[in-house]
Chain A
Amino acid sequence: MGGLDGLAGGFAIAFTAANLAWAFVGCLLGTAVGVLPGVGPAVTIALLLPLTTQLEATSALIMFCGVYYGAMYGGSTTSILLNSPGESASIATTLEGNAMARRGRAGAALATAAIGSFVAGTVSTVLVTLVAPPVAEWGLSFGPPEKFALMVLAFMTISAVLGHSALRGFASLFVGLFIGLIGTDVMSGQIRFALGLQELYDGIDVVVVAVGLFAVGETLHVASHERRVVETVERIRGSLWMSGRDFRRSVGPWLRGTAIGFPFGTMPAGGAEIPTFLSYATEKRLCKGPDRFGEGAIEGVAGPEAANNASVTAALIPLLTLGLPTSATAAIILTGFQQYGIQPGPLLFATQADLVWALIASLYLGNVMLLVLNRPMAGVWAKLLTIPRPMLYAGIVVFATIGAYGMRNSWFDLFLLLLFGLLGYAMKRSDIPVAPCLVGMILGPRADTELRRALQISQSDFSVFLTRPISAALLAFAVLLVAAPVLVRRHNARRGRA
């Protein structure tokens, strides 16, 4: 089925009253959650997973995508009005956005962020529509060796590219792979690492791990190390709109941000952090406007926000077509699919075409909804920022326990939640990134299965990974990613000494 035919069918499904309502709920919830500091989109979707078991798959996934998108729009409100950014992808926006708000230009900053997100989101969704079907077709030729190589590449990029240290990224990855091994092995039915505890026979639930690492870990960290941080919320003063000049200054950054963000989203590099900073640096270099960078230049908000949304949208291409999550949030959405027994991957476009296209159609709608919602509700979102911290985090912890306990009413899951909360805290303190752990846990068991299938087909000949061109190329690229920075550093060190 061609992209445009599929899309037309998708719109027909997305436009039903129920699905429009779920998209709307998702956008609203996502924005609210994105605004709140301390809860990101990954935690929100993880908490929603057990609640949506009675919902039809298409509706639930449409809602998840609304949350995914909405959280990005909401995050920009926080970075502009609050002096501390909610998540790493919005640090770049905070630099100029908060400076603009302090100078009474919060309205213009919020507007350029929202319109920029809309432009980037819509352009990227068009690209997803055009690019996804051929990629899925290409993916159909993948056998177990290619699938395994692809997952190895994902492990390498998410561990080595992001963060300050590849070694600490790998520490997180291997812990995640270990967590993924716990429970019953799909291929052989053998139970691994369960220590005789029946609660562990089915493995550890992704919800408990994600919510523990992110929400509980973050709560422990903020409570015990950020007590003296004073958060000042800027009020929205002056015009809520951009002037014609603001608009002209924003158009370039929006488009450049989209161009920078989109390719990064398709790569498993852990999210939108790198492209937002790249866009910020680009705009800083190009900026000739009257406001200098650091004092509230609108280009520094428009560019990174567009880059953020473009990369978030582009991340859906590897997720839907190859089943490959490129960030923690995408990994949770993958779990959402699996909850319904649907495996994202090349076959998805053939077997679940209606669902995929309804999802993509809902992205177009979600962008429009979020743009429309943003203006009239700006005041409400700003109010959310004034919730006192004790109430906010107490609420977050209570919801985290509901998410963990609600699944099977077992105190053991609460114990695991606390355990992963402590682990998340320790990782945060040690500057060990959390995303590789989550992706390792979710993809690990599948990599295990594909590896064994590949060797079953090749009759335990390991060279199968190197004689098949796609698999060899993917593995070579993975090795290069890890080895290149080390070699460059050695080379520079030697030159430095000479």
Chain B
Amino acid sequence: MTPGGRDKGAIAVSLALVALALFVFGQLPSIPADGGYSVLGPRFAPMLVGVGLLAVGLMLLRQALAGGWRAMPPPPDEPLHRPAFLWIAGGMALHMAIIGTVGFTLASTLLFVLVARGFGSRRPAHDAIVGAVLAASVFLFFTRILRLALPASPLGGL
């Protein structure tokens, strides 16, 4: 990544911290200040945290604008490999969306295949078999031995 690109990241993270601080301040009025028996109410700690976030965010923003954060380790030699990132993050989003309907084993197998794809695997069938065996054994271990609930497939069973 170019030095310029890295600074953009630092500015974005600093701004995110400031935004979080503003969100905290925005929520404060909805928290009662009155603490009942205790002197300080439930609003006090959020206020401190909001001030802390704002201070840290602004100091980091100043550093980022003045040429980058200080004492940063050298950036990694490899730029972001966007497809890999999207395979994994997208795989998790899909898994979240379908686990309730298609059941644990199927959703987990699909997730396994997509993450492996993100790591450069070109053998989806092989990955699917490994993933299915892993997911099915975990499902049986959880539901039979630990007696914890996991969603079954629409057809019942695994």
Contacts and interface: CB of A to CB of B under 8 A. Distances in A.
Contact of A398 (B81, B111, B142): B111
Nearest to B147: A54
A456 B80 contact: no
A426 interface: yes
Interface string A370-397: 0000000000000000001111011101
Nearest to A50: B148
Interface in A140-190: 164-165, 167-168, 170-171, 173-175, 177-178, 181, 185, 187-188, 190
Interface residues of A, number: 67
B131 A390 contact: no
A105 B126 CA distance: 37
Contacts of B88: 219-220, 223, 397
Contact of B78 (A173, A227, A456): A227
Contacts of A174: 17, 49, 52-53, 56
Contact of A188 (B32, B63, B148, B149): B32
Interface stretch (A260-268, A301-309, A354-362, A429-437): A429-437
A432 B9 CA distance: 12
B131 A417 contact: no
A204 interface: no
Interface in A388-411: 388-391, 393-395, 397-399, 401-402, 405-406, 409, 411
A497 interface: no
B15 interface: no
A192 interface: yes
Contact of A395 (B82, B93, B112): B112
Contacts of B39: 452, 455-456, 459-460
A15 interface: no
Contact of A418 (B96, B108, B112, B115): B96
Contact of A165 (B24, B71, B148): B71
Nearest to B70: A165
Contacts of A178: 20, 24, 49, 53
A227 B84 contact: yes
Contact of A177 (B49, B69, B121): B49
A332 interface: no
A487 interface: no
A171 B21 CA distance: 11
Contact of A409 (B118, B138, B149): B149
Contacts of A409: 149-151
A431 B70 CA distance: 11
A224 interface: yes
Contacts of A452: 35, 38-40, 44
A226 interface: yes
A188 B131 contact: no
B96 A415 contact: yes
A137 interface: no
A225 interface: yes
A177 B44 CA distance: 13
A457 B35 CA distance: 14
B13 A390 contact: no
Nearest to B148: A406
A135 to B, nearest CB: 28
Given A174-B52, A451-B40, A452-B40, A394 B71 contact: no
B69 A165 contact: yes
B57 A171 contact: yes
B59 interface: yes
Given A188-B32, A418-B96, A398 B76 contact: no
B119 A167 contact: no
Contacts of A219: 88, 115
A414 interface: yes
B60 A223 contact: no
Nearest to B48: A177
B99 A405 contact: yes
A417 B9 CA distance: 22
B106 interface: no
B40 A397 contact: no
25 contacts: A51-B148, A170-B56, A171-B17, A177-B52, A181-B45, A181-B46, A192-B27, A219-B115, A223-B84, A224-B84, A224-B85, A226-B78, A391-B127, A393-B115, A393-B119, A395-B134, A397-B88, A397-B91, A397-B112, A398-B108, A399-B138, A421-B89, A430-B69, A431-B69, A459-B39
Given A390-B115, A418-B92, A455-B40, 19 more contacts: A170-B52, A177-B52, A181-B45, A187-B42, A188-B38, A192-B27, A227-B84, A390-B120, A390-B121, A391-B127, A393-B116, A398-B134, A406-B142, A409-B150, A418-B96, A444-B45, A451-B45, A452-B44, A459-B39
Interface of A: 50-51, 54, 164-165, 167-168, 170-171, 173-175, 177-178, 181, 185, 187-188, 190, 192-193, 216, 219-220, 223-228, 388-391, 393-395, 397-399, 401-402, 405-406, 409, 411, 414-415, 417-418, 421-422, 426, 429-432, 444, 447-448, 451-453, 455-456, 459-460
**Top-7 shortest CB links A-B:** A390-B119, A390-B116, A390-B121, A460-B39, A414-B96, A394-B115, A448-B45
